Amino acid sequence: MPAGSPPVNLLGFSPQALEGWVVGLGEKPFRARQLLKWLHQQRATGFNDMSNLAKAFRAQLSEKASIRAPEVIQDHISADGTRKWLLDAGAGNAVETVFIPEDDRGTLCISSQAGCTVACPFCSTGRQGFARNLSTAEIVGQLHLANRLLARQAHRLDSQGQPARATPGQALAPVSNVVMMGMGEPLLNYEALVPALQLMLHDDAYGLSRRRVTVSTSGVVPMIDRLAQDCPVALAVSLHAPNDALRDQLVPLNKKYPLRELMAACRRYLAAAPRDFITFEYVMLRGVNDSAVQARELIALVTNAEVQCKFNLIPFNPFPNSGYQRSEYRVACGFADRLTEAGFVTTIRKTRGQDIDAACGQLAGDIQDRTQITQRIAVHGRQPSCVRP
């Protein structure tokens, strides 16, 4: 390492890259697997505790490397257990991470970019413009951080009264599911995303199954194909409109990759996907995309395209000057009923963490003034709250 250069952040290495780096230091490849476990399963923040690594190797690590998850600026816990962190992304920017506990799982909603270039008008991230891509370390660091802070929250102690630590095969990590549904368009930060996904899936790191890791995209067609090749995980596609004219307005990326191409990409993805369906997200905007005619058009779209799918209707969460309103509950339920009657599994996303301003779809970004973080953020409850009470 040249004098003065910052130590390499080990959270940014894919399993393969870490092995290459460790071997480059003159160590055996299995040392990389041990290190990977320390980093991602034991949630180490330093090298002193890494008792199964030789002292000399630990000394090398301390000199050449660091373990840096993003810094927490704010930490909120909702009455319903939802937890939200505002994380420093440098230069006055911040991103948010949200943990949603449920009886049978704990879902972490992770950001991929500070801001977003897609500029969907109903999304507060999109309205804020784009600051920068997050690095792999910043993406996977959100998971590292959440597991560490949540384990502390749970006060889990081992038989010696010490904080319990995950060992391979143990399900001690609080996060069981990851959704790339925070700020940003993950498929427009592909090079950083894939190593982070690889870590989420790797048995010596987070060990999540492909079905428990979901990438949500506004429809970056070529990258959907690449994801199928490189790292097929569950896919959610933000549809929001049943035709190109409306989708051009709501998801401007549609002008580049119109519905016909998007549907074809979804069909191709299914051949590699860990689930036998694509989830279509559909934000319910009053008087914009929520009519009975549009529900029929939506059914025709996916039926003609022959895409096996489920629908997840998202109640719109307003933010200042958005210009949109949430569909009435009975309208959303009527829309859901039409899809259900046509044979599609349809859920209406439950809104969680409202008391900490953690309602669905609006992520804070710009923190030039860090006391002004009042924008709301997305929380993605996984169980239907409606369809029919």
Token pair, residue 138, equals 């910043």
Binding mask 126-165 for ligand SAH (x = CB under 6 A): ----------------------------------------
Task: Find the catalytic residue in 109, 120, 266, 360.
Answer: 360
Active site residue 96: yes
Task: Kindly tell me which of 12 and 126 has the beta carbon lying closer to ligand SF4.
Answer: 126
Q: What angle do CA 97, 102, 108 make, to 5 degrees?
A: 20
Contact with ligand SAH (CB under 6 A): which of 147, 327, 346, 362?
362
- Please state, in angstroms and rounded to a whole number, the distance separating the CA atoms of residues 199 and 231: 11
Instruction: Tell the smallest beta-carbon distance from residue 176 to ligand SF4 (Å).
Output: 24
Q: Which residues bind ligand SF4 (CB under 6 A)?
A: 116, 118-120, 123, 125-126, 184-185, 218, 238
Helix axes 221-230, 259-270, angle to 10 degrees: 10
Residue 375 CB, nearest distance to ligand SAH (Å)? 10
- H or E segment and range at residue 183: none
Q: Which is nearer to ligand SF4, 15 or 126 (CB)?
A: 126
Cβ closer to ligand SF4: 15 or 184? 184
The amino acid occupying position 246 is L
Q: Are 235 and 220 in contact (CB under 8 A)?
A: no
Q: Using CA atoms, how far apart are residues 332 and 351, in angstroms rounded to an integer?
A: 14
Told to check if 41 binds ligand SAH by CB under 6 A, we report no
DSSP string computed for 103-120: TTEEEEE---EEE-SS--
Residues whose CB is less than 8 angstroms from the CB of residue 297 and which lie 6 or more positions away in sequence, other chains included: 242, 243
| Piece of the chain touching ligand SAH by CB under 6 A; list 84-92, 300-308, 357-365, 381-389 | 357-365
For residue 315, list its beta bridge partners. 284
Q: Are 313 and 336 in contact (CB under 8 A)?
A: yes
* 38, 168 contact by CB (below 8 A): no
Question: Which listed range, 201-209, 262-270, 332-340, 360-368, lies at the site for ligand SAH (CB under 6 A)?
Answer: 360-368
Taking CB under 6 A as the criterion, the residue among 19, 27, 96, 185 binding ligand SAH is: 185
CB of 229 to ligand SAH, least distance (A): 20
Least distance from C-beta 116 to ligand SF4, angstroms?
Answer: 3
**Neighbouring residues of 214: CB distance < 8 A, sequence distance ≥ 6:** 177, 178, 179, 180, 181, 233, 234, 235, 236, 279
Residue with token string 């959907």: 224
- 317 near ligand SAH, rule: CB under 6 A: yes
Pair 338, 299: CB distance under 8 Å:
yes
Q: Which does 281 bind (CB under 5 to 8 A by kind): ligand SAH, ligand SF4, none?
A: ligand SAH
Residue nearest to ligand SAH (CB): 361
378 binds, among ligand SAH, ligand SF4, none (CB under 5 to 8 A by kind): ligand SAH
* 180/199 with CB nearer ligand SAH: 180
Judged by CB under 6 A, the residue of 78, 214, 216, 294 near ligand SAH is: 216
Residue 332 touches which of ligand SAH, ligand SF4, none (Cβ within 5-8 Å per kind): none
Question: Would you say 207 or 315 has its CB closer to ligand SAH?
Answer: 315
The owner of tokens 């959303």 is 332
Return all residues near 19 (Cβ < 8 A) that are at least 6 apart: 29, 32, 33
- The count of C-alpha atoms lying within 13 angstroms of the C-alpha of 206, restricted to the half-sphere facing its C-beta, is 30
Q: Which of 96, 138, 185, 281 is catalytic?
A: 96
Known catalytic residues are 96, 360
Point out which residues bind ligand SAH (CB under 6 A): 122-123, 181, 185, 216-218, 238, 281, 283, 314, 316-317, 360-362, 378
